[in-house]
């Protein structure tokens, strides 16, 4: 009989949730060429506009000439090369931690860290809107997984108070990727410290963006010395690829010994590490990128206020327009696409039922004229939708 793969695919298409990756024909940047057409790009995570920066590209090219295009092995065999070590030291210094450890991507960093820290007899407590990699990590760890209402410290404290687990690990995104809001880290830490729990923060969308030096959510909220497990990714604001976990010497040694996604995979190319060293330095020094990003976001929020859309509460480069129904979100995305704007419709299961949205993201590579074009297109799309007869 075999597996019936067709029925779930048909069902997903009927739900307006079928996904197809656009074929990109040019590098990530302010504009995108998708399926042969150029668009203004408002859906990448290249928040600081560094993915195509000539200085970073040159560093990558030079390192590839020296180190080749593959590391050849896992870190623990013979794949840990000088650029990897230099980047780990730079990331640790940037985040104010004793050490940092590189992973191939954020998913692997989260899986590795969580499964190395907790197991049977332990408990994991997660925000309901945490990234899929965190939720999967909790399930795979073997620990009991509990989820609490989004950004609700009292709900977390109540769960912690009732737990008799040997180890308690609380996990949250620093900035939530689909809502753009920040976790209340100080209140979470208070709850953790009252109930003998550790806090792990996934700062994929905060690193490089928040704080005057781009050090992320912990520094932005003034709790940099209280969070024992910090994860950041390199493929968003820093414009390259990979991820890391930063913390104490004992934490990093624990991950080296027990994080299977570190031990049993090939190290990232040294050229990527060398390029990231340059992008990290640029992100630290060029504060104008964050200042410009903030100004663009504020310009957008002012302009969209009177257009009849529901804009979610976010001060970060992630600006979600809440639409509701899956088909309506797709239709709005397509109307904007027809006007030369690339903005993805985000639908369940990525977001909760009935909360389909357009996830609009800004980059320091954008200009004020780009924001105005987006606002004009949203206004036109709203008018067009209002003029469409009800079905």
Sheet holding 318-324, edge to edge: 310-311, 318-324, 356-361, 345-346
> Is 75 marked as binding a ligand?
no
Secondary structure class of 61 (helix, strand, coil): helix
Q: Which of 133, 141, 177, 279 is catalytic?
A: 177
205 is in an annotated binding site: yes
Q: Do the annotations mark residue 363 as ligand-binding?
A: no
Rg over CA atoms, the chain: 21
The full 3-state SS of the chain, as one line of letters, equals CCCCCHHHHHHHHHCCCCCCCCCECCCCCCEEEECCEEEEECCCCCCCCCCCCHHHHHHHHHHHHHHCCCCCCEHHHHHCCHHHHHHHHHHHHHHCCCEEEEECCHHHHHHHHHHHHCCCCCEEEEECCCCHHHHHHHHHHCCEEEEECCCCHHHHHHHHHHCCCCCEEEEEECECCCCCCECCHHHHHHHHHHCCCEEEEECCCCCCCCCCCCCCHHHHCCCCCCCCEEEEECCCCCCCCCEEEEECHHHHHHHHHHCHHHHCCECCCHHHHHHHHHHHHHHHHCCHHHHHHHHHHHHHHHHHCCCCCEECCCCCCEEEEEEECHHHHHHHHHHHHHCCEECCEECCCCCCCCCEEEEEECCCCCCHHHHHHHHHHHHHHHHHHHHCCCC
The reply, when asked if residue 350 is annotated as ligand binding, is yes
Q: Does 177 participate in catalysis according to the annotation?
A: yes
Closest CA to 114 of 97, 93, 131: 131
324 is in an annotated binding site: no
Cβ pair 114, 171 in contact under 8 A: yes
Q: Which of 236, 292, 314, 363 is catalytic?
A: 236
The reply to whether 205 belongs to the active site is yes
**Residue 385 annotated as part of some ligand binding site:** no
**Active-site position among 205, 220, 292, 366:** 205
Q: Is 233 annotated as a binding residue?
A: yes
84 is an annotated ligand-binding site residue? no
Q: What are phi and psi of 227, to 5 degrees?
A: -100, 115
Q: Is 150 a known active-site residue?
A: no
Sequence ranges of the binding site for pyridoxal 5'-phosphate: 106-107, 177, 205, 233
Instruction: Tell me which residues are annotated as active site.
Output: 177, 205, 236
Sequence ranges of the binding site: 19, 106-107, 131, 177, 205, 233, 350
Sequence ranges of the binding site for substrate: 19, 131, 350
């Amino acid at each position: 009989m075999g597996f019936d793969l067709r029925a779930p695919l048909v069902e997903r298409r009927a739900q307006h949730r079928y996904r197809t990756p656009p074929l990109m024909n040019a590098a990530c940047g302010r504009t995108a060429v998708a399926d042969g057409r150029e668009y203004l790009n408002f859906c990448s995570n290249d928040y600081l506009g560094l993915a195509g920066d000539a200085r970073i590209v040159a560093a990558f090219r030079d390192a590839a000439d020296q180190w080749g295009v593959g590391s050849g092995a896992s870190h623990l065999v013979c794949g840990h090369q000088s650029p990897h070590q230099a980047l780990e030291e730079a990331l640790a210094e940037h985040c104010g931690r004793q050490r940092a450890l590189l992973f191939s991507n954020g998913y692997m960093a989260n899986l590795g860290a969580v499964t190395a820290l907790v197991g049977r007899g332990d408990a994991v407590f997660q925000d309901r809107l945490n990234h899929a990699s965190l939720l999967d990590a909790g399930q795979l760890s073997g620990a009991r997984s509990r989820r609490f209402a989004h950004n609700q410290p009292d709900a977390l404290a109540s769960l912690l108070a009732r737990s008799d687990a040997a180890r308690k690990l609380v996990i949250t995104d620093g900035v939530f990727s689909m809502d753009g809001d920040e976790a209340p880290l100080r209140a979470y830490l208070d709850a953790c410290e009252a109930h003998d729990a550790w806090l792990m923060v996934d700062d994929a969308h905060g690193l490089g963006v928040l704080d005057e030096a781009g050090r992320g959510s912990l520094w932005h909220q003034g709790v940099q010395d209280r969070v024992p497990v910090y994860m950041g990714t390199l493929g968003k604001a820093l414009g390259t690829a990979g991820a890391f976990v930063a913390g104490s010497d004992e934490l990093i040694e624990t991950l080296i010994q027990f994080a299977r996604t570190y031990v049993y995979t090939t190290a990232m190319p040294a050229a990527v590490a060398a390029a990231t060293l340059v992008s990290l330095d640029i992100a630290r020094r060029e504060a104008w990128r964050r200042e410009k990003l903030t100004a663009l976001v504020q310009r957008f929020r002012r302009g969209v206020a009177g257009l009849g859309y529901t804009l979610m509460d976010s001060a970060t480069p992630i600006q979600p327009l809440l639409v509701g129904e899956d088909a309506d979100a797709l239709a709005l995305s397509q109307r904007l696409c027809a006007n030369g704007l690339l903005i993805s419709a985000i639908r369940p299961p990525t977001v909760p039922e009935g909360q389909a949205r357009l996830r609009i993201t800004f980059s320091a590579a954008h200009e004020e004229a780009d924001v105005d074009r987006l606002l004009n297109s949203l206004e036109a799309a709203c008018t067009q939708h209002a003029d469409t007869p009800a079905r």
